[in-house]
Amino acid sequence: MRAIVLHGGLSIRRELQEHVEIYAQKAIEMDTALEAVVEAVRLMEDDPLYNAGTGSNMRFDGSIQMDAAVMIPGDFGAVINIEHVRNPVLVARDVMLHSPHLILSGDGAVSFARMRGYEYYDPTTERAREKREKTIKKLKMGEISQYYHPEFFRELLGDTVGAVAFFEGEIAAAVSTGGTSLTLRGRVGDSPIPGAGIFAGDKGAVVATGIGEEIIRRMLSLSIYSRIGDDSLEKICEEEIRKFGDIPVGVIAITSEERCARSNMVMPHAIVTRD
């Protein structure tokens, strides 16, 4: 049996739901769980509707810094604040498979990508420029009452992407994000932090999306993973999400027997299984 779960971040845009369903059907055709989650995330990185890869958000200074991670039981790879590459998730996979390290950041991540043959690529889109300008305008007008105010994020939250899979006993997870316009250069969210935005072990895999700082504080993915087997996966995810109150957050999770997608906002997602 094989199964895969994808999410396209927290968003009410109908087309994100349509696309994530298509990408899930394509990804489940891959040979291994790792290949499936990486392919799913790569497809979403190439879709400018999502805030990952092409379509990533600009920071206050106009730069685009992206994070991505992949994880399998016993191994991990991530890139933090990587710039000028098309598919950060592919670089994160290569960090895990083709380097002695687990995490590379900034210029070091870019240099590694070039050594691996990834060419210069500008992920900037007009949508990213517009979101940055809108954020700056709101700040100047005093319309953002506090950092990461939930009401602000209901309008401008980024569409982080992620996937978890179980293929004939293999477990894997992948995540990628362009962050949010409401950040300084150098900020790191939950996505590339093992235990926060992503976790995979022998019991299953979990990927989170939402306000990164709060997800890191609660180590959301690890909190869910550590409870696997104590109750149904859906109930565990629901209980952990409830702890966030009105702070926007969502998760996808998978085990050999269960799979789920839960959030306290609208979260485009797809669940596909195959015997």
Domain assignments of the chain as residue spans, ordered by start: 2-274
Per-residue model confidence (pLDDT) at position 253: 98
Per-residue model confidence (pLDDT) at position 152: 52
Per-residue model confidence (pLDDT) at position 159: 62
- C-alpha triplet 14, 160, 10: angle, nearest 5°: 45
Query: Which residues make Cβ contacts (< 8 Å) with residue 39, sequence separation at least 6?
Result: 26, 27, 30
**Per-residue pLDDT reduced to its tens digit, 181-220:** 778 899 999 999 999 999 999 999 999 999 899 999 999 9
Q: Which two tokens stand for residue 182?
A: 């409401």
Distances (CA, A) of 108 to 83, 92, 101: 10, 12, 12
Per-residue model confidence (pLDDT) at position 136: 82
Confirm if 66 and 81 have CB atoms less than 8 A apart.
yes
Q: Which two tokens stand for residue 19?
A: 């696309």
State how far the Cα of 268 lies from the Cα of 275, in Å rounded to an integer: 24
State how far the Cα of 77 lies from the Cα of 139, in Å rounded to an integer: 35
Of the candidates 26, 56, 10, 273, which has an alpha carbon nearest to the alpha carbon of residue 165? 273
Confirm if 248 and 265 have CB atoms less than 8 A apart.
yes
Least confident of 2-16, 42-56, 75-89, 90-104: 2-16
**Set 54, 135, 160, 183: catalytic member:** 160
State how far the Cα of 67 lies from the Cα of 76, in Å rounded to an integer: 14
Average pLDDT over residues 90-108: 98
Higher pLDDT, 140 or 69: 69
Query: Which residues make Cβ contacts (< 8 Å) with residue 133, sequence separation at least 6?
Result: none
Which residues, in sequence order, are bridge partners of residue 190? none
Looking at the chain, the whole-number percentage of residues with pLDDT higher than 90 is 77
Average pLDDT over residues 96-123: 98
Q: Which two tokens stand for residue 151?
A: 């009401």
Of the candidates 226, 232, 241, which has an alpha carbon nearest to the alpha carbon of residue 259? 232
Per-residue model confidence (pLDDT) at position 143: 65
**Per-residue pLDDT reduced to its tens digit, 123-171:** 999 888 988 888 788 777 776 655 555 555 555 455 689 999 999 999 9
Coil, strand or helix at 245: coil
Per-residue model confidence (pLDDT) at position 225: 98
Question: How many CA atoms, within 13 angstroms, populate the side-chain half-sphere of residue 116?
Answer: 20
Mean pLDDT of the chain: 92
What is the number of H-type helices and E-type strands within the chain?
A: 9, 11
Does residue 180 have a pLDDT over 90? no
Query: Which residues make Cβ contacts (< 8 Å) with residue 239, sequence separation at least 6?
Result: none
Annotation says 124 is catalytic: no
Average pLDDT over residues 48-62: 92
Q: Which two tokens stand for residue 223?
A: 């909190």
How is domain 2-274 classified at the CATH fold level? Answer: Glutamine Phosphoribosylpyrophosphate, subunit 1, domain 1 (3.60.20)
Residue 227 DSSP code: H
Coil, strand or helix at 272: strand
